[in-house]
């Protein structure tokens, strides 16, 4: 599947932007936050890395990202590959605040899951700590992810931890 094809695909869920607030019912939820360093400089570096797909590219396990923009922006499409699995996505919003940076993407037709995932970093000026966060809601979109049940959710949690370590 090429990026031109992805631009024409619809999102596979209706709760667009829900990772910014209350996660919708009817989905598996994931919300992981971990300290990733200290200081404003670390925050700026981590924020830049997240917006340039650094959480994905640094995760290992054969993760590859092909996107139509070097920097995540609304409507950027990406094909995230993990081994033989392909996960087409579209950026649905970008976070660009003084103490928070990141983006969320939603699943497109052909993704083995249906839902949304937020990748962000946050700086806490009170104690100078930088936090990484992965927040998602998803449910199986293919017969094989339905059959995988808890194994798929475990895989998502493992990847989320790897994303946090990558940034």
Which pLDDT does position 46 carry in this prediction? 96
Assigned domain for 116 exists: yes
Which residue in 138, 137, 106, 99 sits closest to 120, CA to CA? 99
Task: Write down the residue that tokens 């360093």 correspond to.
Answer: 37
pLDDT mean over 129-151 = 79
For the cut 90, the answer to whether the pLDDT of residue 2 exceeds it is no
Residues 151/137/104/122 CA torsion (nearest 10 deg): -90
What mean pLDDT do residues 101-106 have? 97
CATH of the domain at 133: 3.30.530.20
User: What are the residues facing 90 on neighbouring strands?
Assistant: 77, 106
Burial class (CB in 10 A: 0-12, 13-18, 19+), 19: buried
Domain, as residue range, for 41? 3-12+26-166
- Identify whether 103 is part of a domain: yes
**Which ranges of 23-149 does DSSP label H, i.e. alpha helix?**
40-51, 54-57, 143-148
39 within some domain: yes
Structural tokens at position 159: 């990847």
Q: Does 21 map to a domain?
A: no
Q: Is residue 19 part of a domain?
A: no
Beta bridge partners of 96: 101
Whether the pLDDT of residue 57 is over 90: the answer is no
Dihedral angle at the C-alpha atoms of 31, 69, 112, 14, nearest 10 degrees? 70
Could you tell me if residue 132 is inside a domain? Answer: yes
This prediction has a pTM of: 0.89
- The closest of 82, 63, 86 to 3, measured between CA atoms, is 86
pLDDT exceeds cutoff 90 at 83: no
Q: Average pLDDT in the 29-35 region?
A: 94
Q: Considering its fold, how many domains does the chain have in total? A: 1
């Amino acid at each position: 599947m090429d990026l031109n094809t992805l631009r024409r695909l619809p999102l596979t869920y209706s709760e667009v932007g829900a990772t910014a607030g209350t996660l919708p019912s009817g989905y598996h939820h994931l919300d992981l936050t971990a300290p990733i360093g200290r200081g404003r400089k670390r925050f700026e570096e981590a924020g830049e890395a997240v917006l340039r797909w650094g959480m994905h590219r640094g995760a290992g396990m054969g993760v590859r990202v092909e996107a139509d923009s070097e920097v995540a922006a609304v409507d950027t499409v990406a094909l995230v590959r993990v081994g033989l699995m392909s996960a087409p996505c579209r950026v649905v919003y970008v976070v660009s605040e003084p103490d928070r940076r990141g983006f969320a993407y939603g699943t497109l037709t052909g993704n083995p899951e249906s839902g949304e995932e937020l990748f962000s970093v946050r700086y806490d000026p009170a104690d100078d700590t930088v936090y990484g966060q992965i927040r998602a809601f998803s449910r199986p979109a293919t017969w094989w992810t339905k059959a995988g049940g808890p194994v798929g959710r475990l895989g998502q949690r493992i990847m989320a931890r790897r994303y946090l370590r990558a940034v």
